[in-house]
Structures are given as C-alpha cells and as structure tokens.
Amino acid sequence: MPAGTTGRPRFLASVMSVAEALTAVAAGAEIIDCKNPAAGALGALPVQTVCAIVEAIAGRVPVSATIGDLAPQPEILCPAATAMAATGVDLIKIGFFDGGDAGASIEALGRLDLGRSGLVGLLLADRAPDFNLVPAMAAAGFAGVMLDTATKDGRALPDVMQPIEIASFVASAHSAGLFVGLAGALRREHIPAIAALTPDVMGFRGALCAGTVREGSLEEGAVRAVARDLSALARRPSASYAIIEALQ
C-alpha cells in the first residue's frame, strides 16, 4: 500500500545523514526529516547535507528539513527558509519559539517564493504555544502545522500537554485545512494514544536511536518496530492526507 493512503498517521523519521535517511526509508519511514539533534530541538543540518539527502532519497518519500532554533523575526526566518528551499526539500519546518513577532514572521514567510517547498509551522507544547497562530499559518499558505517539545529532558508530548488540549489543536488545524503532525520524545508505547488524536503525521527520533538517545545513531530494528506498530493501527479517513499526497 502506498505511503500516506493507509488512513493512519504517517511515519516521520528524523535523520542526520544520508546513511540514516537510506536506513530509515528501507525500514519503513514515510517522511524523512533532516535535523541535527545536537544543535537543539530543531537543530538544522548544513544545506549541503540536506541536498545530499534529497538526492539520495530521489523522490521515494517526502523530505522535510528544520531551519534551526531561531527567533521568530522575519529578517531571521525568511533567509533561513529561502536557503533551505534551495535544497529541494518538500517541506520546511519553522519553529515558533519565545519572543519576536510570530504573526509578522508567518505573514512574511507566506510571501516568499520557495519553489516546490511547502511550509510547516511548529509550535512547542512546553512553551505555552499560541494556537491562535494556526489560522494565520493557513491564511499564509502553510501546508501543515506540528506540535513538538522544546526541552529534551525525557518528557514526552503527553507528559507536558493534556490529551484534550492536543485534540483541540488537531481539530483546529484540520478545520483550517492544514495537515497535522505530533512529535516530542514519542516512544512506541505512545503510538496508540497519540494516533487516537487523529494526527496525519507522527514524528520520531529518540525512539529510533540506540539507547533511545536522540543524539545517538539510528537503528534499523528500532525504525522497523515503529513502522510495524503504526501499520497495525486501524484505518481512518483524513481529508488532510490529500495535502501530503500532493507532495509526491
């Protein structure tokens, strides 16, 4: 069955290198996410590395990339997004951290010519996220929005936000026409409960690594285990899948 048509959350695997990307795809990952965990919650890889990953994946699955833990200022985020778009990624993940002007940044990002790259806003569950930014992202032409955690201290998304709050976020994003991703130190045992909140994407890093340490090396067996657990979930309808499918 083609990735993204199963009616359950799509499996996003964060990787640091071409080797990890190829391992993840072979083991069942459905979105490859370029990220440097050692450089922060949304640490960016060098554009040369992202280019190499895009070339190696060769369109088999969508590729996303983070731009770093940057202040939400238009003059900071826009050049970083433009540079990452030049790599040919399908999705550019923009984190909205504390301070700055998130609203102005979203409007400015929406005016950029990023070629084939779509924008994904990322809100931080452990940093008092402003869910009012979701409709602004939709109005600016973002493809999707994700919820993650900023502090990587072992606490997972369900530890820092109540299920009813997460469900409200998912519902508001879907109502705005965005696809929705949930991440944040998620482990295999979280899959059933998080999937029940109906996200379109679930993101993993630590759960895929040796010793479940996000800075560690990706392990093929761990990737296969997460892919197997996600594949076992019951089918559900999701109109937002059409947005993700359009990326391929």
Those residues whose C-beta lies under 8 Å from the C-beta of residue 195, and which sit 6 or more positions away, are: 8, 9, 202, 230, 233
* Contact between residue 191 and residue 228 where contact means Cβ atoms under 8 Å apart: no
Catalytic residue among 35, 152, 174, 190: 35
Amino acid identity for residue 133 in this structure: L
Cα–Cα distance, 224 to 226 (Å, whole number): 6
Beta-bridge partner residues of 209: 218
User: Partners of 124 in the beta sheet?
Assistant: 148
C-alpha dist (Å) from residue 96 to 41, 123, 151: 11, 6, 14
Beta strands in 103-187 (DSSP E): 118-124, 144-148, 179-182
152 catalytically annotated: no
- Could you tell me where the beta strands, DSSP code E, fall in the chain? 10-15, 31-34, 63-66, 91-95, 118-124, 144-148, 179-182, 201-204
C-beta of residue 39 within 8 angstroms of C-beta of residue 67: no
Per the annotation, the verdict on 35 as an active-site residue is: yes
Q: Which residues are catalytic?
A: 35, 93
